[in-house]
Amino acid sequence: MSRQRLDPETITRMAMAVVDEGGLEALSLSAVAQRLGVGPSALYSHVDGLEGLHQLVAMGAMRNMVTEVRQAAIGVAGPGALESMGNAYRRFALEHPGQFRSTVAHPGPAGEGLAAAHDELLEVFALVYAGAGLDRTESAVAARQARSAIHGFVSLEACSGSTPDHDDHYSDLIALFSRALNRRRVR
């Protein structure tokens, strides 16, 4: 026997591949272990069971999301930035439905790390508003509202079998939150 070398990062990467290919419900210790050429029980040396694996996948998904949304906002001015970020948000959900769903799954006992990741994504939105002149608390409020709307639209679209004729509605919805960028007022 060739004594496999494992670590949490490798396991998480493999788990996310499973989720990308078979959806969130395909995630299991057995499936991941099989891809690694190892017995299921071997994973317990690095991961806190199935629940721990779910948490790692959710954290990885949030990290990917933050990366893409942040990248979409680079070098784009105010209202355009929000639309670009919204498009990146939506694209991620449609291309990686399993990862997307993992970010909003059960709260879980070790959910404080996930909550921090969500706050980090919120911070990306807040930076756009802060750049437009809104103060810290105003930016936080506007960011939460814009993110909620974007998340809700994308979430319902991903669930509803993706009828991709809602492009205009999505743009209009984002435009609604771009106004706070011009007027310096949310309400």
Partner DNA sequence: ACCTGAACACCGTTCAAGT
Instruction: Kindly list the residues in this chain that would bind DNA in the complex (CB under 7 A).
Output: 1, 3-6, 28-31, 37-42, 44-46, 49-51
Q: Which is nearer to DNA, 26 or 159 (CB)?
A: 26
Of residues 63, 156, 182, 183, which one binds its own copies by CB under 8 A? 156
Shortest Å, Cβ 19 to its own copies: 12
The single-letter DSSP state of residue 45 is G
> Which two structure tokens, joined as six digits, stand for 52?
């721990």
Q: Which is nearer to DNA, 30 or 182 (CB)?
A: 30
Amino acid of residue 38: V
Residue 128 CA, distance from chain mean position: 18
Contact 97, 158 (CB under 8 A): yes
Q: Answer with the entry of its own copies, DNA, none that 46 interacts with (C-beta below 5 to 8 A by kind).
A: DNA
The set of residues, in sequence order, having a beta carbon less than 8 Å from that of 9 and lying 6+ positions away, is none
Of residues 152, 167, 184, 185, which one binds its own copies by CB under 8 A? 152
Contact between 175 and its own copies per CB under 8 A: yes
Element of type H or E holding 111: none
Q: Tokens 């990290």 belong to which residue?
A: 63
Contact 53, 27 (CB under 8 A): yes
User: Measuring CA to CA, which residue among 67, 97, 62, 73 is closest to residue 146?
Assistant: 73
Which of positions 99-128 make contact with its own copies (CB under 8 A)? Answer: 101, 104-107, 111, 115, 118
Distances from the Cα of 26 to the Cαs of 7, 43, 81, 172, 174, in angstroms?
Answer: 21, 17, 35, 35, 33
Piece of 6-14, 37-45, 72-80, 169-177 that binds its own copies (CB under 8 A): 169-177
Shortest Å, Cβ 13 to its own copies: 23
Piece of 13-21, 27-35, 124-132, 167-175 that binds its own copies (CB under 8 A): 167-175
The contact set with its own copies (CB under 8 A) reads 23-25, 101, 104-107, 111, 115, 118, 141, 144-145, 147-153, 155-156, 159-161, 166, 169, 172-173, 175-176, 186-187
